[in-house]
Amino acid sequence: MDNLDQLEQQSVYIFREAFRHFERLCMLWSIGKDSTVLLWLARKAFFGHVPFPLVHIDTSYKLPEMITYRDKLALEYKLTMIVGQNADAIKAGRTFPATQHLPDGHPDKVSRLECCGLLKKDALANTLNGVWPRQKLNLKTGRYELDPDRAPYHGVIVGARADEEGSRSKERYFSPRDKNSAWDIGEQPPEFWNQFKTDFAPGTHVRIHPLLDWTELHIWEYIKRENIPTVSLYYDQGSGTRYRSLGCGPCQAPIQSQAKNVDQIIDELKSGKLKNIAERSGRLQDGKHGLEELRREGYM
């Protein structure tokens, strides 16, 4: 059993514990490499099935290829696909891209971080608790329809990795969130061996992290080993650049790289060329403390 096998076994175990203990369980799927590996691991855990809904928060600024890829896989794997959105903010133009042209200090100007708060954090919290409407993919027609199910989710599986960025290294496999989706880092219950926090007070929810021990390199090695389909944005299409981490179009920058396929990305990661560049360095909203503040308030 090699290292990837070991990581896979632990992730599968966590998935099954989550499925057992949370009747209202969902998984966040950002369409990125990590949560797509997560989706694959769910199919490993449940012998080819995905017995809970996948939730995607659509900021409306995701690159079109990501949305196409999302729906293609959802139809192919027969997923229960739920999409949530802060439709009001998008409609009212309360976003960073829509107010970018305004001068600094203008009262209507929305910063990158505020935009993340509105389109991701708020949309996520209100989609999970069912306060805002959810759209569900009709697998027969391929269209999204209003989901009559508005019950809150109590267990939320996410693809956070401990090595990705400082605050994520503080997560447990099962991390509780309070009624306001807030994360009390100092008062997390203990996690002994493989006994996780599976009891929760009404109104609270638990974030479940099957990928916590994986690194960026593990993710790519696993994608290669299992032949998992990924979006082409991760690969150099001839411009000499590629995306290393996927977010919203206006707030992400590609990295200089000529890696054109999974093998070349693995080689690049192993060569140490990217060793000194943080994985999320292309994510322009990541400030010193900003991201952690957002995470405490419920951002993923």
Q: Which residues bind other proteins (CB under 8 A)?
A: 1-6, 8-10, 12-13, 16-17, 19-20, 43-49, 51, 78, 162-163, 166-167, 169-170, 172, 185-186, 188-195, 197, 199-201, 212-213, 215, 218, 221, 224-226, 275-278, 289, 292
CB 139 within 8 A of CB 77: no
Using CB atoms within 10 Å of the CB of residue 182, give its burial: 0 to 12 exposed, 13 to 18 middle, 19+ buried: middle
What's the residue count for the chain? 300
Q: How far is the CB of 87 from other proteins (least distance, A)?
A: 32
Residue 173 vs 234, nearer CB to other proteins:
173
Quote the least distance from Cβ 176 to other proteins, whole Å: 8
Q: Please give the Cα distance from 294 to 285 (Å, whole number).
A: 11
CA distances from 168 to 17, 47, 138, 280, 282 (A): 21, 29, 34, 12, 18
- Tell me whether residue 278 or residue 284 sits nearer to other proteins (CB atom): 278
Residue 85 contacts residue 58 (beta carbons within 8 Å)? yes
Residue 163 Cβ vs other proteins, minimum distance, rounded to whole Å: 5
Based on CB atoms, which residue is closest to other proteins, 121 or 218? 218
Nearer to other proteins, 17 or 147 (CB): 17
Smallest distance from other proteins to CB 239, Å: 24
Residue 54 has φ and ψ, to the nearest 5°, of -100, 135
DSSP summary character for residue 153: P
| Amino acid in the structure at residue 70 | R
- The CB density around residue 12, as the number of other CB atoms within 10 Å, is 16
Q: How far is the CB of 219 from other proteins (least distance, A)?
A: 12
Q: Which is nearer to other proteins, 91 or 193 (CB)?
A: 193
137 close to 81: Cβ distance less than 8 angstroms: yes
- CA gap 212, 270 in Å, rounded: 20
Q: Which is nearer to other proteins, 49 or 72 (CB)?
A: 49
3-state secondary structure of 150: coil
**Which is nearer to other proteins, 149 or 191 (by Cβ)?**
191
Distance of closest approach, residue 43 Cβ to other proteins, in angstroms: 5
Q: Please state the closest distance from residue 97 (CB atom) to other proteins, in A.
A: 29
Which string of DSSP letters, residue by residue, matches 14-83? HHHHHHHH-SSEEEE--SSHHHHHHHHHHHHHTTT---S-EEEE--S-B-HHHHHHHHHHHHHTT--EEE
